[in-house]
Chains A and B, each alone.
Chain A
Amino acid sequence: MNELIELTAAAAAQRVRAREIDPAELFEAYRARAAADDLNAFTWVAPRAPAGEYPGDAPLAGVPLAVKDLFCTEGVPSQAGSRILEGYRPPYTATVVANLQRAGAPLLGKTNQDEFAMGSSNENSAYGPVLNPWDRARVPGGSSGGSAAAVAAGLAPWAIGTDTGGSIRQPAALCGIVGLKPTYGACSRFGMIAFASSLDQAGPLTRDVTDAALLLAHMVGRDRRDSTSLEFPEAIRVPRAEDLSGIRLGVPEELTGAGGGVEPGVRESFEATLARAEGLGASVEPCRLPHAPHALSAYYLIAPAEASANLARFDGVRYGLREDGEAGLVSMYSQTRSHGFGAEVKRRIMLGTYALSSGYYDAYYGTAQKVRTKIAEDFRTAFERFDFIVTPTSPWTAFALGAKTDDPLAMYLNDFCTVPMPLAGIPAISIPSGLSDGLPVGFQLAGPAFSENRLLDAAHALERAIGFDGSPARRSGESAARG
Chain B
Amino acid sequence: MTEYEPVIGLEIHVQLKTRTKMFCGCELSFGDSPNIHTCPVCLGLPGALPVVNERAIRFGMMIGLALGCEIAERSLFHRKNYFYPDLPKGYQISQYDVPLCRGGRLGDVRIHRVHLEEDAAKLNHLGASGRIHGSDRSWVDFNRGGTPLVEIVTEPDIHSPEQAREWLSLLRTTLKQIGVSDVNMEEGSLRCDANVSVRPAGSAVLGTKTELKNMNSFRFLERGVRAEIQRQIGLIEAGEAVVQETLHYDPVSGGITPLRSKEEAHDYRYFPEPDLVPLVATDAMLAAAREALPAELPAERAARFERELGLSAGRARDLAFRADLADYFERALAAGAADGGVDPVELSNWIPQLVERIGSDRDPAESNVAPESLAALATMVKAREVSRDAAREVLSRLVADGGDPRAIVAREGLGALSAEDDGLGELVDRAIASDPAAAEQVRAGNLKAIGPLVGYVMRETKGRADGATITRLIRERVRQAG
A residues bordering B, Cβ < 8 Å? 70-72, 78, 80, 85, 88, 90-92, 94, 189-194, 196-198, 224-228, 305-306, 308-309, 311-315, 317-319, 326-330, 333, 353, 356-358, 361, 365
Contacts and interface: CB of A to CB of B under 8 A. Distances in A.
Nearest to A94: B47
Contacts of B270: 356
B46 A72 contact: yes
B126 interface: no
Interface in B35-65: 40, 43-52
Given A72-B46, A194-B47, A305 B88 contact: no
24 contacts: A85-B46, A94-B47, A189-B49, A191-B48, A194-B47, A197-B275, A224-B51, A226-B275, A228-B277, A309-B79, A311-B90, A312-B81, A313-B45, A313-B88, A314-B46, A315-B90, A317-B85, A317-B140, A318-B45, A319-B45, A319-B46, A329-B85, A356-B271, A361-B269
Contact of B271 (A305, A313, A315): A305
Nearest to A365: B271
Nearest to B25: A225
A139 to B, nearest CB: 26
B91 A309 contact: yes
Given A197-B275, A330-B263, A333-B83, A309 B90 contact: yes
Most A CB contacts (10 A, CB to CB) among B51, B81, B275 go to B275
A315 B88 CA distance: 9
A228 B79 CA distance: 16
B274 interface: yes
A189 B48 CA distance: 9
B40 A226 contact: no
Interface centre among A72, A90, A305, A315 (most CB of B within 10 A): A315
Q: How large is the interface on B (under 10, 10 to 19, 20 to 34, 35 or more residues)?
A: 20 to 34
Given A227-B277, A312-B91, 15 more contacts: A88-B46, A90-B45, A191-B48, A192-B47, A197-B275, A227-B52, A227-B276, A306-B271, A306-B274, A309-B269, A312-B89, A326-B135, A330-B263, A356-B81, A357-B267
Contact of B44 (A71, A88, A190, A313): A313
B90 A312 contact: yes
Interface string B340-360: 000000000000000000000
Nearest to A71: B47
Nearest to B38: A318
A323 B274 CA distance: 30
Contact of B46 (A197, A313, A315): A313
B133 interface: yes
A477 B135 CA distance: 53
A328 B138 CA distance: 11
Classify the secondary structure of A's interface with B.
Answer: loop
A353 B276 CA distance: 21
Would you list the 6 A-B pairs with minimal beta carbon distance, nearest first?
A312-B90, A198-B274, A197-B274, A356-B269, A193-B46, A191-B47
A313 B140 contact: no
Given A326-B133, A353-B269, A356-B271, A90 B47 contact: yes
Contacts of B48: 190-191
Contacts of B85: 315, 317, 329
Given A326-B135, A333-B83, A90 B46 contact: yes
Interface of B: 40, 43-52, 79, 81, 83, 85, 88-91, 133, 135, 140, 263, 267, 269-271, 274-277
Q: Which of B44, B49, B263 gathers the greatest number of chain A CB atoms within 10 Å?
A: B49
Contacts of B133: 326
B317 to A, nearest CB: 42
Contacts of B140: 317
B296 to A, nearest CB: 37
A315 B263 CA distance: 17
Nearest to A369: B272
Contacts of B91: 309, 312
B81 A309 contact: yes
B47 A318 contact: no
Contacts of A328: 135
A132 B67 CA distance: 64
B269 A78 contact: no
A225 B51 contact: yes
A91 B45 contact: yes
A281 to B, nearest CB: 40
B49 A227 contact: yes
Given A312-B81, A312-B91, A358-B267, A318 B274 contact: no
B79 to A, nearest CB: 5
Nearest to A91: B40
Contact of B83 (A70, A193, A315): A315
A193 B88 contact: no
A309 B271 contact: yes
A191 B46 CA distance: 7
Name which of A85, A197, A227 has the most chain B CB atoms within 10 A of its CB: A227
Most buried by B among A78, A90, A309: A309
Nearest to A327: B135
A225 B81 contact: no
A213 to B, nearest CB: 26
Contacts of A70: 47
Contacts of A358: 267, 269
Nearest to B142: A318
B273 to A, nearest CB: 8
Contacts of B83: 312, 315, 333
